[in-house]
């Protein structure tokens, strides 16, 4: 499975009013492993950024003036994403801008060039309803360090999103070891038996301390705390 984690930076919020892409960053996952085959370009958007967008990405018109225009990198970008599955946070935003750029060049839209799109914002909302699900919030939730993220950058955000996506979709490890384990270089690893599971009973002192804690919770609850209510034997008629 070849997947491309992608992000863009833009001059504003609306491609329909002429806002353009000024940076594309993407990282490649193959069988859920980063390959190092990244794609990154700053792009001359042929217009100034809106003040709010400039505050987010910090890419000035002067800095972008000598960078290639989208038409100059379009073929390279299309070859990079061809037949891959795209992973994007708030996908409609980036896809809308990419489609607007492709339309200017009479090129087919994104969905005709890739095999699918995963929107991690939709995934996160389903997994964490009612919670903040920005990229920064997800980094905090899944322990992905974003301390070096002072401004938004397409490649950096793609790298962060790749780590977040892998954490979000990581299943429980198989205790039976029936799945094939593969090393970073693709070599199949030797299956080894699990270590013996050691069961250690609580000591009498530990049990007494536990009972004292539960009794304190019952007293504070003026009845039964949840632990006592759940573990108490059912009443008999």
Nearest 5 degrees, angle CA 47-CA 161-CA 120?
A: 95
Strand runs labelled E in the chain:
2-10, 21-30, 33-34, 39-42, 85-88, 116-119
Active site residue 40: no
Question: What is the Rg, in whole angstroms, of the alpha carbon atoms belonging to the chain?
Answer: 26
Out of 40, 89, 152, 210, which one is annotated catalytic? 152
DSSP structure class, residue 110: G
Question: Which phi and psi angles does 53 have, rounded to 5°?
Answer: -70, -40
Exposed / middle / buried, residue 20 (Cβ in 10 Å: 0-12, 13-18, 19+): buried
C-alpha distances in Å from residue 168, one per residue of 32, 39, 82, 126, 161: 12, 23, 25, 11, 10
Catalogue the active-site residues: 152
């Amino acid at each position: 499975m070849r997947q491309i984690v992608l992000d863009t930076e833009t001059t504003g919020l609306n491609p329909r009013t002429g806002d353009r892409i000024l940076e594309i960053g993407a990282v490649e996952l193959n069988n859920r492993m980063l390959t190092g085959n990244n794609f990154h370009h700053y792009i001359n958007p042929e217009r100034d950024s809106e003040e709010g967008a400039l505050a987010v990405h910090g890419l000035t018109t002067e800095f972008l003036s000598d960078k290639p225009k989208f038409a100059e990198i379009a073929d390279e970008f299309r070859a990079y994403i061809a037949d891959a599955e795209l992973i994007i946070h708030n996908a409609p935003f980036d896809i809308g801008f990419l489609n607007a750029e492709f339309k200017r060049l009479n090129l087919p839209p994104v969905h005709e060039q890739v095999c699918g799109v995963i929107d991690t914002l939709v995934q996160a909302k389903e997994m964490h309803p009612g919670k903040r699900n920005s990229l920064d919030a997800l980094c905090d939730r899944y322990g992905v360090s974003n301390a070096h993220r002072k401004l938004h950058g397409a490649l950096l955000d793609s790298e962060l999103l790749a780590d977040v996506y892998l954490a979000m979709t990581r299943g429980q490890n198989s205790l039976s070891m029936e799945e094939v384990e593969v090393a970073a270089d693709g070599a199949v690893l030797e299956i080894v038996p699990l270590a013996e599971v050691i069961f250690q009973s609580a000591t009498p002192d530990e049990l007494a301390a536990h009972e004292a804690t539960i009794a304190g919770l019952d007293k504070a609850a003026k009845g039964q705390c949840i632990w006592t209510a759940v573990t108490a034997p059912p009443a008999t008629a």
